[in-house]
Amino acid sequence: MKKFVIGNWKMNLNVHEASLFAAKLAQDIPIRRGVETIICPSFLALEPLSLQIDHRQMKLCAQNCYWRDSGAFTGEISATQLRGLAQYVLVGHSERRNIFDEDDREIRFKVQAALRNGLTPILCVGETEFEYNEGDTPHVLNDHVAGGLLNVGSDQMDDVIIAYEPVWAIGSGKTPKLEEIEKAIELIRTQVAHMFGKSIAKNVPILYGGSVNLTNARAILSVKGVDGLLIATASLIAPEFVGIVEIASELVKKEGEKG
C-alpha cells in the first residue's frame, strides 16, 4: 500500500506566498509511485496552484467544503465548486469540530458531498485531552468513525481516507506513545470492519496527524497500520516536509523489497 504525506497549511500563506512555497517544494520533492504527496492550501490558492504544480509530483486537497452542492449559502464553498481544482478534501478536522462546532451529522453530509463530486474525503477523527485522560478514546473514535461514515456505501470506501488526530497533540509538540497510536489505528479499523467488513477495513488508508516533524516521522510511519501522515507546522518548513516525503519513500521501498 502506498504512503500518504499530506501538508495542511491551514490559514497561512497568501496566494503569492503559496505559489512561491509550492515552487520551492517542487524543486526537491521527487515523483515517487509509492508516495502520494498532497498539499492543502487555502481556498484562494487552490486555483492558481492547480495550474502551477505538476500533478504527478503533488496533489491538492481542500481544507473544508460545504455539504450542499449549490444554493443561498453566503461564504461557503461546495464540493461541486472544488471539482477540477482539488482531488482531496479534509472533513471533520478537530478545528472544524471544536472551533466551528461541526457535529457528526454535518460531517457525514460533507463526506457524502465529497464522494458524489469525485473528491476523496479525508475523515479526521480523534479525542480531546479531557477524553484521553478519562480513557474515552475508544468511544470517541468509534463515534467519529461511525458518525462520519454512516451513509457511505461499501462500494465507496475505496475512495475514503481516515486520519487519526488526537486533538491534544495538534500543535502542542506532544505525541502519543507509538503503542497508543497503534492501538488507536486498530480501534478505527475494527469499527470500519463492523460497518463494512474486514477486507475493506484492511485496505482503508489510515493516517496519523498531530505534532509530526522530521524527527518523529520515521518512527510514526513505521507503526503497524499507519499508512501516512497529516502534517501541519512542519509542512510549512520546506526542508522538513521534503525530508518526510523522502522518509516515506524509503519505507515504501523497504516494504517492497520485503514483499
- Based on the number of CB atoms within 10 Å of its own CB, is 125 exposed (0-12), middle (13-18) or buried (19 or more)? buried
| Annotation marks residue 134 as catalytic | no
| Annotation marks residue 165 as catalytic | yes
Catalytic residue among 106, 127, 165, 240: 165
Torsion angles phi and psi, residue 160, rounded to 5: -120, 140
Identify the sign of the CA torsion 155, 66, 231, 27: positive
Residue by residue, DSSP assigns 180-249 as HHHHHHHHHHHHHHHHH-HHHHHHS-EEEESS--TTTHHHHHTSTT--EEEESGGGGSHHHHHHHHHHHH
Tell how strand 120-125 and strand 3-8 pair up.
unpaired
Q: How far apart are CA 97 and CA 103, in angstroms?
A: 6
- Based on the number of CB atoms within 10 Å of its own CB, is 58 exposed (0-12), middle (13-18) or buried (19 or more)? buried
User: CA nearest 129: which of 96, 98, 154?
Assistant: 98
Question: What SS3 state is found at 142?
Answer: helix
Catalytic residue among 93, 102, 106, 144: 93
User: CA nearest 160: which of 197, 191, 123, 192?
Assistant: 123
Residues designated catalytic: 93, 165
